[in-house]
Structure 1
């Protein structure tokens, strides 16, 4: 019996066939999304979603130029007919395949998969495996959309989403956070069988929501959610536009916003932010803590610059610590994302019942200093997070009894007064790198280059904002 891993490898090997057709890895995964969806709805007896005459068998029975021509027509028809989910997946769909033999090879190979084994292990797991393979392939550039699943699992375990809660990812990517949260809830409810029929319908149709900016990635997310039997709305759009302000209040937010500045260097186009900024992470952070209901919980991946950036950055951190209890910061190791030089953290916070003075102290866990640089040779595993999860405790709002490990330990507590004295700078480190007894060792060249570029980017943003102020006739 073939395992999911075997099937994923077989599908991934097919991309080698398409190199002569000039197809990139990301285009290949998008192409596979269309074909796999057609085959999977057939395997799960859900072809009623697809108009007659444009189903898997209709494509499979053709060959050569006729098959490729039919496939092109098929993609257009499915973008305007069938269920809402089908139309969303195939919206503006086109094929990058140019040679009929390559389409025939893909169709035949997908048809020959051991679908009995795939169904037994879960079709969603098969597709997740394919997305992970794509993210781990540097040439694809897809790692920016794919947060390591072991990190997502830790974040979900600590935030503890519950059945009946509204759960959102405003930068959904391929849907990883929402899917892990869904599995966590299903594990707590005997695969939803402990819930009433109305509660089960809520979990499938309304509990999970998200927004994804990149159209191709949005299609991957829709496919991923469909294969896990989740129908919640995943919107194609920009959370930093009025789309984000219409999302409504939620109980839980789990997310990893995109790195960098707003496309084109401008500020977010939504008008409900107190502190306008072109820094996407700072803008997303505002969305997140403002979108939480009182008592709502969030875990969000953010780069170091969010913790120390002056001016607007400081204003937003102060606002965050007023409106929310920012109880825990996890300093992540380097090398776990596509951009290896980027240093990142996870911020855990809960929205207060009032908007003032909610953060009394912040606990910082340093999982970066004296840790390996992770990558293919040193993979990140669940075991690497065990000590942090133990130190965090069982309370999802950070109220478990904790122990300050002082200067030699990884977990330390800082009062709000101490942080205020630092200018609300949350980029806090205290451990010395053991590779150099005189202090922290010089970062690796790629890390150093990334830090320099990050500082230059921040400086350019401030210059642009200053120029904009002067252009509008404002005095300094």
Structure 2
């Protein structure tokens, strides 16, 4: 029998937790009870009492019902994303699935677990699937460190009034970081405040449950994720049941590489350049579709900063049409198991200037890379590592007029940028000459041999929390 992968295990935890929590909420005291999203209020008890082929058949039918498109049943729109194409484990492994149901899921009252603990445990479960994520090269999946996303959300100065989108949502980490920053203001965050999309149905399933557990969203509410090819659409909007909501912020770490065939964007008459690679296409997609006054933070590999052809054309248009005010050069090694060298471009979308002059005035470059290599779990990136960047960025200074140059933070006038060959943005501060630091051989070796904990062991933290609270 084929072994169950960590990512398949995580998916089934998502399915079972959704059904168990749905059952618990439907069986609360009458005034707190909610209508079940599952086919009936007895769906979970029927799952618990079955085994073997009977369990496989019942779960298959339940998943097919919940995963079907539901234009006439708005309560199931979120479930339709989570259970899209979902299937139980191979029928030969039903004894293991039944053991998971009866011993690890059914005995506990999951609705009593604080959502912060449950959400963090599920996010940890997904992080333990890192190796499986790296194998998904067809869609270019990898995990973005949450401390980094937290810092970016703070730099964007998000408030509950913002509407944040991620057109390449992955497992939903960007949306969770955005939601936490918005919620830190003490005001309720509306369900329409965050929305993401991804072309990979498995990522959409995992992201849906990840966001649900980390934001306490209703299972019968607006789906936080949708499965779609973002590059095929000309609009960037948050999908609601009644209307679309224009985004005020885009926070996106798109695929840097993919084994899929190049996306056909010939129909995108709004694009500045054709035949661009994936990260360049996502950058121009966000830039051309965001409404006026919207702001963005987009991850890009080094090649987008200095590549010729389509990349050069997009850089030129970006400087003219957007206020590209900050470039953060990230440490190497933060995306464990890859050789990606990443950066973040921060920009806003002002109204077009009648004079035709470039919207960008000054691009500030913060160098967090030189001499700073990360080796996965050995010395992972923390929020404290980027505290100086956040202080230099100054989220409280929206027009960036009070920034101060330093060895790590250097301004470049737009006239100088436009005069560079191919409008290259391969820019640095003044930290030193060693711009290709990859860390010591020992650090690199340590990052390779570090083993992940099993996915099931990370879930033990939740079980322990339950035991102590019951």
Q: Which moved more, 1:56-65 or 1:396-405?
A: 396-405
Cα displacement (A) at 1:396: 6.2
Aligned length: 412
Residue aligning to 2:81: 88
1:322-356 Cα shifts (integer Å, max 9, x gaps):
11111110000011114431100011111112154
* TM-score, scaled to structure 1: 0.78
In structure 2, distance between residues paired with 1:113 and 1:139: 33
Residue aligning to 2:458: none
Cα displacement (A) at 1:262: 7.9
Within-5 A mapping of 1:88-167? 88-97=81-90, 98-108=92-102, 109-113=104-108, 115=110, 118-119=113-114, 121-135=116-130, 144-167=141-164
Contact 1:177/1:255, CA 8 A, preserved across alignment: yes
Runs of 4+ in 1 over 4 A off after TM superposition: 136-143, 243-249, 430-434, 439-445
In structure 2, distance between residues paired with 1:137 and 1:308: 31
Residue aligning to 1:218: 204
Within-5 A mapping of 1:328-407? 328-354=326-352, 356=356, 357-395=358-396, 397=398, 399-405=400-406
In structure 1, distance between residues paired with 2:128 and 2:112: 20
Residue aligning to 1:36: 17
Contact 1:433/1:440, CA 8 A, preserved across alignment: no
2:54 to 60, 66, 90: 66
Residue aligning to 1:428: 427
Residue aligning to 1:176: 173
Name the SS of the counterpart of 2:248 in structure 1: strand
In structure 1, distance between residues paired with 2:293 and 2:263: 33
Q: Structure 1 pair 368/319, CA: closer, same or farther in 2 (3 Å)?
A: same
Within-5 A mapping of 1:234-273? 234-242=225-233, 249-260=246-257, 263-268=260-265, 270-272=267-269, 273=271
Q: Structure 1 pair 269/40, CA: closer, same or farther in 2 (3 Å)?
A: farther
Name the SS of the counterpart of 1:326 in structure 2: strand
Cα displacement (A) at 1:426: 0.6
Segments of structure 2 that go 5 or more residues without pairing to the other structure are 27-33, 239-243, 445-470
Contact 2:266/2:274, CA 8 A, preserved across alignment: no
Contact 2:374/2:439, CA 8 A, preserved across alignment: no
Cα displacement (A) at 1:245: 6.5
Contact 1:308/1:425, CA 8 A, preserved across alignment: yes
In structure 1, distance between residues paired with 2:171 and 2:290: 22
Cα displacement (A) at 1:119: 3.3
Residue aligning to 2:461: none
Contact 2:365/2:429, CA 8 A, preserved across alignment: no
Cα displacement (A) at 1:141: 5.6
Q: Which moved more, 1:30-39 or 1:45-54?
A: 45-54
- If each structure's helix is expressed as a fraction of its own residues, which one has the higher value? 1
Bigger RCO (CA 8 Å, 6+ sep) = 2
In structure 1, distance between residues paired with 2:436 and 2:232: 41
Cα displacement (A) at 1:68: 2.8
In structure 2, distance between residues paired with 1:234 and 1:266: 21
Name the SS of the counterpart of 1:299 in structure 2: strand
Name the SS of the counterpart of 1:265 in structure 2: coil
In structure 1, distance between residues paired with 2:438 and 2:252: 31
Contact 1:268/1:277, CA 8 A, preserved across alignment: yes
1:86-107 Cα shifts (integer Å, max 9, x gaps):
2222122212333221111110
Segments of structure 1 that go 5 or more residues without pairing to the other structure are 1-19, 193-199, 449-476
In structure 1, distance between residues paired with 2:274 and 2:129: 35
Q: Structure 1 pair 121/322, CA: closer, same or farther in 2 (3 Å)?
A: closer
Contact 2:208/2:223, CA 8 A, preserved across alignment: no
1:14-33 Cα shifts (integer Å, max 9, x gaps):
xxxxxx64222222222222
Contact 1:251/1:292, CA 8 A, preserved across alignment: yes
Task: Kindly report the root-mean-square deviation, in angstroms, between the aligned alpha carbons of the 2 structures.
Answer: 3.0
Contact 2:166/2:250, CA 8 A, preserved across alignment: yes
In structure 1, distance between residues paired with 2:111 and 2:37: 22
Cα displacement (A) at 1:61: 1.7
Contact 1:36/1:110, CA 8 A, preserved across alignment: yes
In structure 1, distance between residues paired with 2:274 and 2:293: 25
In structure 2, distance between residues paired with 1:440 and 1:84: 47
